[in-house]
Chains A and B, each alone.
Chain A
């Protein structure tokens, strides 16, 4: 069986499952952010007093923090009250950062487990070998009530990656290239398994970029290999301050697809010659090499999000911005993905580099990524961004334009005031 099949078989209490089959699976982790407000409203309508398992629900705020409106403040308040009433153990309020970064940091993303989240980029947790899929709020109310969810066993596409990245080319360029090739629905309803020598060398942060953006080709789940690196990360995140493993720790183990697993498709990519890529407006699969659009004037440069707001992303941008200035005409926004990353970036001196270069540092969270607040675009404006969606009107005016690229490309473009390649 493939990874998706193995995990769904386990969660569905079956020996074996095949693509197309529908299983009723037991959920290990149920994650929500601000939209927990939608969930709790639906949950109340069911008429149950208690959620199925208060220790399996994780809630935090990241989309609109600190509250940008009175309405959001009221949302936050209602959710806090619900959390207290239900005794939900894992509630992080607005203090830690973006859900897809905070859950792994807090040890909730575990190989072989079933995680559902009321956020489409829940695929991110597949980087740890977790069957992690996005669902809607009403469906989550069902999970809170029963602890179960029906899922169709997906077909799996295997993607073998080989070769070594050139300088200033990274996982972001690779996944943009793949989405450009497969199209935005190239993996709709499917599971994706990334593997191959490049994956073995890739950092956890890089793997998270691939699993995160696989959503933009429609994937239901997107796995990276579970290896020593994964186990080290996950175990270290499930150890108490005193060094004792938490109860979850015993369940952490390497999980691999069977050697005879059957795949719908096997695709191969070699990254040795890959050049920096950019997704042009208004679709994530409208991908071109950066050199084809370079010279285009930009107004905003955004470094952050659940896609590319991790320490190595900030490091790669800081290296380029060191002793340089962001162009006068550009607003550069930097948003570390979590408080932990914020602190590390501060210690490493990256934040100082950004501030000296003229960038604004915002609090960990989603920021303008979904167009809620903190840096929206006016008609006619162009933003180069490390985020994962460039849909029309996503970040403000329907007449604004978002280009998606790597942290290196965003930093280089911020300096030039136009889309630029990092090595120039």
Chain B
């Protein structure tokens, strides 16, 4: 279970907006990547968002390029989870592989506002907006995906299996 403050975005937020192409030559420094999250189009994010916050998107969050920096930057910023109406498939996979919890929740855009505090229970997909008291149901993640996320992502997961 995690609790966090909502940073809300609209529909079709693409990976160029989350992490601009001009910073793609940064490949090895996640802390520096984090500093450029949403930089060009939503400059307030890096100024005001805090580690522990939660990103909420509309439909088709993370569309566009396969760049996983668009997940890495948010993870290292300290974002604890991403919830959206729907995701672009590569973004969704990247989040799982990097161990950043990601949930599909129909209706979330109309049920939470910028700054609301939400409780998320990943195992069941239950989400509670503690600011309004409203409860929502996200699609819970399949067990094997939860296992990858809980281990911290695909790499630690494979490291474990390689040892076995």
Question: What residues make up the interface of A, taking CB atoms closer than 8 Å to B?
Answer: 22, 34-35, 37-38, 41-42, 45-48, 63-64, 68-69, 71-72, 75, 118-120, 122, 134-139, 141-142, 145-146, 150, 184-185, 188-189, 218, 220, 283, 370-372, 389, 391-394, 398
Look across to chain B and name the residue whose beta carbon is closest to the beta carbon of A119. B66
Which residues B83-113 have CB closer than 8 A to chain A? 86, 88-90, 93-94, 97-98
Chain B residues, Cβ within 8 Å of A135: 66, 90, 93
Would you call B128 an interface residue if the criterion is a C-beta within 8 Å of the partner chain's C-beta atoms? no
Chain A residues, Cβ within 8 Å of B63: 184-185, 218
B16 and A146 contacting across the interface, CB-CB below 8 Å = no
Question: What residues make up the interface of B, taking CB atoms closer than 8 Å to A?
Answer: 12, 14, 16-17, 20-22, 24-28, 40-41, 59-60, 63-69, 71, 86, 88-90, 93-94, 97-98, 142, 144, 153-155, 158-159, 162
Further contacts, 12 of them, CB under 8 A, given A35-B67, A119-B66, A389-B65 = A35-B24, A38-B69, A68-B25, A118-B66, A120-B66, A136-B90, A136-B98, A138-B94, A142-B155, A185-B60, A393-B40, A393-B41
Q: How distant is the Cα of A415 from the Cα of B14 in the complex, in angstroms?
A: 32
A159 CB to closest chain B CB (Å) equals 19
Partner of B66, one of A69, A134, A150, A188: A134
Q: How distant is the Cα of A173 from the Cα of B90 in the complex, in angstroms?
A: 26
Partner of B86, one of A48, A72, A188, A398: A188
Chain A interface mostly helix, strand, loop or mixed?
loop
A185 and B66 contacting across the interface, CB-CB below 8 Å = no
Chain B residues, Cβ within 8 Å of A69: 25
Chain B residues, Cβ within 8 Å of A63: 24
Q: How distant is the Cα of A64 from the Cα of B21 in the complex, in angstroms?
A: 11
Chain A residues, Cβ within 8 Å of B67: 35, 136
Chain A residues, Cβ within 8 Å of B142: 22
B93 and A136 contacting across the interface, CB-CB below 8 Å = yes
B158 and A146 contacting across the interface, CB-CB below 8 Å = yes
Are A394 and B16 CB-contacts (below 8 A) given A136-B97, A139-B94, A188-B60? yes
Chain A residues, Cβ within 8 Å of B86: 185, 188
Are A136 and B71 CB-contacts (below 8 A) given A392-B17, A394-B21? yes
A142 and B158 contacting across the interface, CB-CB below 8 Å = yes
Looking at B22, B89, B159, the one whose CB has the most chain A CB atoms below 10 A away is B89
Q: How distant is the Cα of A64 from the Cα of B66 in the complex, in angstroms?
A: 16
A134 and B64 contacting across the interface, CB-CB below 8 Å = no
Q: How distant is the Cα of A120 from the Cα of B90 in the complex, in angstroms?
A: 8
Q: How distant is the Cα of A22 from the Cα of B101 in the complex, in angstroms?
A: 20
Q: How distant is the Cα of A135 from the Cα of B65 in the complex, in angstroms?
A: 10
A35 and B155 contacting across the interface, CB-CB below 8 Å = no
B66 and A370 contacting across the interface, CB-CB below 8 Å = no
A48 and B162 contacting across the interface, CB-CB below 8 Å = yes
Partner of B68, one of A138, A184, A218, A392: A138
